[in-house]
Amino acid sequence: MKKAFFPPLLLAGVLLLFGSTTSPCGYAIGDRADDFSLKSVSTKMVSLADYKDVRGYILIFTCNHCPYAQLYEQRIIDLHNKYSPKGFPVVAINPNSPLIVEEDSFEEMQIRAAAQKYPFDYLFDEEQTVYPKFGATRTPHVFLLDRDLYIRYIGAIDDNPETPRSAKNRWVEKAVEAMLKGEKPNPDYTRAVGCTVKKKPEVKPAPVPVQKADTVPMVGGQRP
């Protein structure tokens, strides 16, 4: 047991613990998601169970400030308008902490949803308890669920953030079409560039033991 305190091992342990600021975890394809209750821009609390007569959900972690989320905003509106009548509404969730990005505050969400006339629910993961369960790491990040909340697709909307018309693969549309036919989406997992989810600051120990305990890690302070 004493060996655990041998400095190199301790260092290795600390590196294991803190070497990576975020580790990808969360639901995998085929997992069943837990429902949630989050505040919508209408100030109403919304759960997936509130949606009646749906065949599934196009759950999208997105936000106000991220340029990639902005590039995809109209496509998210279009997805809802196209697939909500077919039983697949878009449910948008902002996972970001306004302590990091002011533009992603609840008030700013309300302003953006009104200005852009969002036809879907735009929810705020204020406690940041929902996005980690899903394993959402970026905005926008799509999770396609069937009516029983089983995860069927995780990934990007399409393969061309900058020019929608030039997209060669419209993955979410393809996945929803497959599900409407009772088939499995293929591919069911894609990757894309995006902004990291902005986690609220937490006080954590310094990454490497330093001489005295009076060294406090920088948290907050000079953040925008």
Contact residues toward other proteins (CB under 8 A) are: 15, 18-24, 67, 101, 137-138, 141, 155-156, 159-160, 162, 169, 190-198, 206-208, 210-211, 215-219, 221-222, 224
Q: How far is the CB of 114 from other proteins (least distance, A)?
A: 24
My answer on whether omega of the bond before 209 falls inside 30° of 0, hence cis, is no
Nearer to other proteins, 46 or 58 (CB): 58
Nearer to other proteins, 56 or 194 (CB): 194
Contact 195, 68 (CB under 8 A): yes
Q: How far is the CB of 199 from other proteins (least distance, A)?
A: 8
Q: How far is the CB of 185 from other proteins (least distance, A)?
A: 14
Nearer to other proteins, 43 or 211 (CB): 211
Q: Which residues contact 129 (CB under 8 A, 6 or more apart)?
A: 36
CA 111, CA 185: separation in Å to the nearest integer? 35
Question: Which H or E run includes 76?
Answer: helix 67-83
Q: How far is the CB of 47 from other proteins (least distance, A)?
A: 27
Closest of 58, 36, 27, 35 to residue 133, by C-alpha? 27
